[in-house]
A and B are shown apart, each in its own frame.
Chain A
Amino acid sequence: MPPLRRGGLAVVLALVLPVTLALGWEVAVDTGAASGRLLPPPSRIGATLADLAASGDLLTHVAATLVRVGLGFLCGAAAGILAGAAVAMLPAVRRLIDPSLQALRAVPSLAWVPLFILWFGILETPKILLIAVGVFFPVYVGVSGAIASVDRKLVEVGRVYRLSRLALARRILLPAVLPATLVGLRTGLGLGFLFVVAAELMGASEGLGYLLVDGQQFGKPDQILAAIIAFALVGKLADTVLVALTRPLTRWQDTVRESL
């Protein structure tokens, strides 16, 4: 069987279960066999999504969530890269801060929520900070590990050609650590979306997380499911954009398509 047809068949097979369940539920609610009060049928979820989109509410909520994830991601990633590089390149810094960071990493990040609310109130600061904390650790671990495991033999090639410290960093270290750094950034972005939900659950007046809370409080399961679908789409989209933006940098890698 040609690969294309086999791939097509795989997609069809993968869709059989969800589509059957969705259609079955649609029919069951339609014929009155089930009420669909707690689990609305797909058509009603679709209609809710369409309403939210038409009124512009969906865009507002998605934008609010994306801004939070974006700011948190930028802060967390920048801090993670700086700390990871410092720890990997300066042994004194590693001995000083790595044990503490590893200890903090062991704290489930959601445990910070009450403290952040106490310190920063319930506005944007604690939300962005929480997301930044979530993004920080995978980036930090990725960058410090990548720098520490740079192939000494390639560094020696740099020495043979008498590269200055700066040139060595630019021409050998940076390209060598890029793939693992990007994997860290990608994991961080995924965690950013995880944490934005937690952040928005702790009190927000807009954002996809707010739609979840609102849907729960007012008994609107269709709104909750619409928000979940929006989360899935936005998260996947952000991930795809990150991969597309960074792919040219790792074109040389054999494994890039598998690992990213």
Chain B
Amino acid sequence: MLTVDALSKTYADGTQALSGIGLSVAPGEIVALIGGSGCGKTTLLRLIAGLDRASAGRVQVDGETIREPHPSVGVVFQEPRLLPWLTVADNVGFGLADVGRAERRARVVRALERIGLSEYGRRWPRELSGGQQQRVAIARAFVPQPRVLLLDEPFSALDAFTRRGLHDQLLDLWAESKPTILIVTHDVGEAVTLADRVVVMRPRPGRLDETVAIGLARPRDPVSARFEEAVRRVMAALDRSLRPAKPRRDLSPEGRAGWW
């Protein structure tokens, strides 16, 4: 169980990045955080990861307060951030320093199989494509079996085809150990593909706005009517979050184009 309680972040220069964030995510639930740039999505994720300190409020995982990086919280960054001097296999096993050699090896081999990169274990990260590198980064985060996994726009640098494949692989890995997942994205389609709930954020200061429950069984068919209906609901919520003062506008295709 991930609980975020009245979390705020104010930078030294007085900028308020986040204000009064409250969120709780059930074990095994996948929640997508969505919103325009500058609404504090990444800041929120970094606070939950324990990489930055909150100005007020707290983050708890299974009742334990997070103040610094915690063994049961994994992180996948926007860039793969693989260590270039380690082989692919050693990168995957990076978080298993205190696990015995034989078991580490076995878990790395299994993870590489899961992401379809068994043949690449002894290669250097630079020899892999961007999509393959991000797969390795995701495997690295999954291998220590975290209870909470945080992903910060992990697929934003990839093309649409690669992204589709990675969505499937992420869900595949998730299905094995069912960690709680919090994923930041600015892609509505991605949010609806992955999440049980989509939480819309609102900028200046960053705060949570509406929550949209997706309520679709997995695997999800992106060309089904129900999927499209869910996308429309998320888009409408996003639209409302960005035009607070004005009455709701007609969702003409032109008006929506910017969100894609």
Chain A residues within 8 Å of B, Cβ to Cβ: 153-154, 156-157, 159-163, 167, 171-172, 175-176, 178, 252-254
Nearest residue, chain A, Cβ from B76: A160
Do A153 and B79 touch (CB < 8 A)? yes
A252 to B84, CA, bound (A): 7
B126 at the interface (CB under 8 A from A): yes
A153 to B97, CA, bound (A): 20
Q: Shortest distance in angstroms between A183's beta carbon and chain B's nearest beta carbon?
A: 16
B94 at the interface (CB under 8 A from A): yes
Do A156 and B85 touch (CB < 8 A)? no
Which residues of B, 100-130, contact A by the 8 Å Cβ criterion? Answer: 124, 126
Do B83 and A175 touch (CB < 8 A)? yes
A178 to B74, CA, bound (A): 28
A153 to B77, CA, bound (A): 9
Among B70, B81, B95, B124, which residue has its beta carbon within 8 angstroms of that of A154? Answer: B81
Chain A residues, CB < 8 A from B242? none
Do A154 and B69 touch (CB < 8 A)? no
Among B75, B79, B83, which residue has its beta carbon within 8 angstroms of that of A172? Answer: B83
Q: A-B pairs with CB below 8 Å: how many?
A: 42
Nearest residue, chain B, Cβ from A156: B51
Q: Shortest distance in angstroms between A149's beta carbon and chain B's nearest beta carbon?
A: 14
- The B contact surface, by secondary structure, is loop
Do B95 and A161 touch (CB < 8 A)? yes
Contact bitstring B76-96, A, C-beta under 8 A = 1, else 0: 010101011110000000110
Interface residues on B, range: 20 to 34
Residue among A154, A160, A172, A253 with most chain B CB within 10 A: A160
B238 at the interface (CB under 8 A from A): no
Chain A residues, CB < 8 A from B124? 252
Do A160 and B75 touch (CB < 8 A)? yes
Question: Across chains A and B, which 6 residue pairs bring their CB atoms closest together, nearest first?
Answer: A175-B85, A252-B85, A161-B95, A160-B75, A252-B124, A157-B81
A154 to B51, CA, bound (A): 13
Chain A residues, CB < 8 A from B51? 156, 159-160
Chain B residues, CB < 8 A from A153? 77, 79, 81
Residue among A161, A162, A178 with most chain B CB within 10 A: A161
A176 to B85, CA, bound (A): 8
